[in-house]
């Protein structure tokens, strides 16, 4: 009886509940938006001029968004840098930092395969070269969108033209970018690198009045577009290495409408228009930058990697960056402090990756500034530097001594020990005496400018000590200064007056393409924006002869002569080549990466095991 009675009571209560609910008035739930504060950096127009501002904005989001389950952490590549990005303009960039970002924000005409270093399709799917080697015809994809990312809303949208039509990358965009690279008014170092190869480009670049270049001269540049999917480049001579130049950022497509609208500020967050695998979400100068995956990129061009977000704070020096790596706050440390290297190799052997990036470092001389306007002084300072001891002690074996410029692996580079003077104390002392400074007597105080950071300080202090020991120059005569890399580039530009420029500075050159012309021609040629300010002479005649020579064997002979003319016993020595970098970098095991030899790092082909990374950070 007890069970039946309880069942009846429950049934009656359920019936009453249904009736009561049915009789209730309808309830309307009003959604109240939640305000979220975000910090953004964007470009605004004030008094007709673009001005970058960082400010707080309040954005309303639906109320339910505040109660949703936390979103999954995006696959994030955490890196650091010790300087700001000098530029994101493809035609203006000249440094590794800028080129790395441009590689990921923009597609290029072609690309380099990371494993084979072969030229492979990118925007161009195929190409033909005329029998005479003068005309290159590229067939382009038509489905790569131009996009603009809004840092405030986080939205990435496709650009549209004046009539509302979506903008895709066309041959015209590449033609505009290439012709823009020939314009002397943009102040690009790499203009002088690409100009000699492209018909009509040098004539524009070297025009006597850059402010009044005739339109017909610009129109005569050897770049044409039969249609929006076909780009034709006519060369000034049959440069057999030109295809290896086509992955270069300088030849990338550029958005003319955005550049016309915003001028030099077109590259800032919120105004920049890009077409690559990532978009620029944040760029707080000298503080931090953030990239996000471009959701509108064609699927087959996204790359093989899984990184969705890239976050790069700017830190004071490599020691700070390495400390972040030790604390699992960044995934890769591209430089390991000299004092930490042996401990790092002992403690983290599985995370030590050795990279030979073909970068040759040197100490450059301002050849128009006394006392380095005297070739005997330049020879003396080069020959007094003990490269082997430097690599063994200061670099702790991370490199090879270099006594000429181009490294092994570059076509036309002489064998590493065949050409060049190198370290020779007796020769150095004789040369300094020939300059009128025996045992450094009467030698003036000079400046040596290096990159910022302890590693570079160790380098330039070694040089200072070598010149003291081997030449008799009191260390006080070599005034050491350090600046962030971007500032060093500015301070040593060829356009800087000699009175303001340092006497000497540290610098390195990594390959843009695998040919000796990229070294002696693009860096030391008198018609390039060479920082040493060397003038034209018979060496440049050899460089030009080698550049246009079709016979590979003859080209190699000519380049051996060029290297000897620069760095042999009777050499000109615009700088002192010191070492080829072969360095250890610190890479956490959850990051799967491969360093690029040419161009920027292809972060879109890198992957991260995010679960392993998050576990290590706990």
* pLDDT for the residue 486: 84
Mean pLDDT of 580-585: 96
pLDDT band of 25, cuts 50, 70, 90? very low
Q: pLDDT tens-digit profile of 559-581?
A: 999 999 999 999 999 999 999 99
* pLDDT for the residue 3: 33
Whole-model pTM: value is: 0.84
Q: pLDDT tens-digit profile of 333-347?
A: 998 999 999 999 999
Q: pLDDT tens-digit profile of 359-372?
A: 999 999 999 999 99
CA atoms of 618 and 613, how far apart (whole Å): 9
* pLDDT for the residue 69: 56
Identify the CA nearest to 605 among candidates 349, 296, 373, 276: 276
Identify the CA nearest to 171 among candidates 209, 211, 142: 142
Identify the CA nearest to 117 among candidates 389, 410, 338, 324: 410
* pLDDT for the residue 172: 98
CA atoms of 463 and 338, how far apart (whole Å): 16
Mean pLDDT of 28-42: 48
Q: Find the farthest-apart pair of alpha carbons in the chain and give their distance in angstroms, rounded.
A: 125
Helix (H), strand (E) at residue 257 = helix 256-262
Long-range contacts of range 93-101, CB-CB < 8 Å, 24 or more positions apart? 93/190, 93/249, 93/250, 94/188, 94/189, 94/190, 94/489, 95/485, 95/486, 95/489, 96/510, 96/600, 97/485, 97/486, 99/249, 99/599, 99/600, 100/600, 100/601, 100/603, 101/289, 101/291, 101/600
Mean pLDDT of 157-169: 97
**Burial class of 441 by CB neighbour count within 10 A (0 to 12, 13 to 18, 19+):** exposed
* pLDDT for the residue 33: 55
High-pLDDT (> 70) share of the chain, %: 89
Mean pLDDT of 292-307: 98
pLDDT band of 71, cuts 50, 70, 90? low
Ranges of beta strands (E only) in 309-461 are: 309-313, 332-333, 352-365, 399-401, 446-451
High-pLDDT (> 90) share of the chain, %: 85
CA atoms of 459 and 583, how far apart (whole Å): 15
Q: pLDDT tens-digit profile of 484-530?
A: 888 999 999 999 999 999 999 999 999 999 999 999 999 999 988 78
Mean pLDDT of 27-32: 45
Q: What size, in residues, is the chain?
A: 618
Q: Residue 383 above 80 pLDDT?
A: yes
Residue 355 near residue 582 (C-beta atoms within 8 A): yes
Q: Which residues contact 269 (CB under 8 A, 6 or more apart)?
A: 40, 41, 42, 43, 149, 151, 280, 281, 282, 283
Q: Residue 28 above 50 pLDDT?
A: no
DSSP single-letter state for residue 390: I
CA atoms of 204 and 220, how far apart (whole Å): 9
* pLDDT for the residue 533: 95
Q: Residue 396 above 80 pLDDT?
A: yes
* pLDDT for the residue 527: 86
Q: pLDDT tens-digit profile of 422-439?
A: 999 999 999 999 999 999
Q: pLDDT tens-digit profile of 134-155?
A: 999 999 999 999 999 999 999 9
The pLDDT mean for the chain works out to 90
* pLDDT for the residue 530: 86
| Secondary structure class of 187 (helix, strand, coil) | coil
* pLDDT for the residue 72: 82
Q: pLDDT tens-digit profile of 37-68?
A: 444 555 555 555 555 554 445 555 555 544 45
Domains along the chain? 34-70 (no CATH), 80-282 (3.90.76.10), 353-582 (3.10.105.10)
Helix (H), strand (E) at residue 34 = strand 34-46
Q: Which residues contact 462 (CB under 8 A, 6 or more apart)?
A: 390, 393, 394
Residue 517 sits at φ, ψ, to 5 deg, of -60, -30
Residue 480 near residue 448 (C-beta atoms within 8 A): yes
CA atoms of 45 and 319, how far apart (whole Å): 39
Residue 208 near residue 81 (C-beta atoms within 8 A): no
Mean pLDDT of 217-235: 98
CA 515 to chain centre: 19
CA atoms of 238 and 398, how far apart (whole Å): 38
Produce one character per residue of 105-144: b if its CB has 16 or more CB atoms within 10 Å, e if not.
bbbbbbbbebeebebeebbbeebeeeeeebbbbbbbbeeb
Q: Which residues contact 500 (CB under 8 A, 6 or more apart)?
A: 491
* pLDDT for the residue 580: 97
Helix (H), strand (E) at residue 379 = helix 375-383
CA atoms of 253 and 167, how far apart (whole Å): 13
**Residue 128, beta-bridge partner list:** 137
């Amino acid at each position: 009886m007890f069970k039946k009675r309880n069942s009846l009571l429950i049934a009656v209560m359920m019936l009453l509940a249904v009736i009561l609910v049915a009789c209730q008035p309808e309830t309307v739930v009003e959604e109240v938006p939640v305000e979220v504060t975000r910090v953004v950096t964007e470009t605004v127009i004030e008094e007709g001029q673009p001005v970058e501002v960082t400010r707080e904005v309040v954005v309303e989001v639906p109320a339910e968004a505040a109660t949703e389950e936390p979103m999954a952490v995006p696959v994030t590549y955490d890196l650091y840098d010790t300087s700001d990005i000098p530029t994101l303009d493809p035609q203006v960039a000249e440094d590794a930092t800028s080129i790395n970002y441009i590689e990921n924000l923009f597609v290029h005409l072609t690309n380099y395969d990371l494993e084979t270093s072969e030229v492979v399709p990118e925007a161009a799917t195929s190409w033909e070269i005329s029998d005479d080697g003068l005309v290159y015809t590229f067939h382009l994809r038509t489905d790569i969108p131009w996009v603009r990312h809004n840092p405030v809303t986080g939205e990435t949208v496709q650009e549209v033209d004046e009539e509302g039509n979506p903008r895709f990358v066309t041959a015209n965009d590449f033609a505009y970018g290439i012709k823009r690279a020939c314009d002397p008014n943009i102040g690009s170092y790499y203009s002088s690198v690409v100009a000699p190869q492209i018909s009509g480009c040098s004539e524009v670049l070297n025009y006597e009045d850059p402010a009044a270049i005739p339109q017909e001269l610009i129109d005569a540049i050897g770049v044409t577009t039969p249609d929006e999917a076909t780009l034709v480049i006519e060369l000034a001579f049959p440069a057999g290495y030109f295809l290896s130049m086509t992955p270069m950022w300088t030849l990338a497509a550029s958005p003319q409408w955005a550049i016309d609208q915003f001028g030099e500020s077109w590259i800032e967050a919120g105004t920049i228009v890009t077409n690559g695998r990532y978009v620029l979400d944040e760029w707080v100068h000298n503080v931090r930058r953030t990239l996000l995956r471009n959701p509108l990129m064609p699927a087959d061009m996204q790359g093989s990697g899984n990184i969705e977000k890239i976050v790069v704070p700017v830190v004071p020096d490599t020691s700070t960056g390495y400390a972040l790596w030790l604390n699992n706050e960044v995934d890769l440390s591209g430089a390991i402090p000299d004092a930490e290297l042996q401990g790092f190799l002992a403690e983290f052997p599985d995370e030590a990756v050795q990279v030979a990036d073909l970068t040759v470092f040197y100490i450059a001389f301002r050849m128009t500034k006394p006392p380095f306007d005297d070739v005997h002084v330049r020879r003396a300072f080069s020959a007094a530097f003990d490269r082997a001891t430097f690599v063994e002690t200061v670099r702790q074996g991370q490199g090879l001594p270099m006594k000429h410029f181009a490294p092994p692996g570059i076509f036309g580079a002489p064998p590493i020990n065949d050409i060049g003077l190198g370290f020779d104390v007796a020769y150095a002392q004789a040369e300094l005496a020939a300059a009128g400074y025996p045992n450094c007597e009467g030698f003036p105080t000079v400046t040596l400018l290096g990159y910022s950071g302890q590693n570079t300080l160790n380098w330039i202090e070694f040089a200072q000590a070598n010149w003291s020991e081997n030449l008799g120059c009191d260390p006080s005569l070599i005034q050491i200064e350090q600046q962030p890399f971007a500032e060093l580039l500015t301070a040593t530009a060829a356009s800087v007056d000699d009175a303001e420029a340092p006497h000497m500075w540290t610098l390195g050159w990594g390959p843009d393409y695998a040919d000796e012309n990229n070294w002696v021609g693009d860096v030391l040629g008198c018609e390039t924006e060479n920082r040493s300010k060397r003038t034209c002479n018979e060496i440049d005649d050899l460089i030009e002869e080698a550049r246009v020579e079709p016979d590979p064997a003859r080209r190699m002979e000519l380049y051996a002569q060029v290297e000897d003319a620069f760095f042999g016993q009777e050499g000109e020595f615009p700088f002192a080549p010191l070492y080829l970098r072969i360095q250890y970098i610190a890479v956490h095991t959850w990051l799967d990466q491969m360093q690029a030899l040419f161009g920027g790092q292809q972060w879109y082909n890198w992957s991260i095991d995010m679960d392993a990374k998050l576990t290590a950070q706990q």
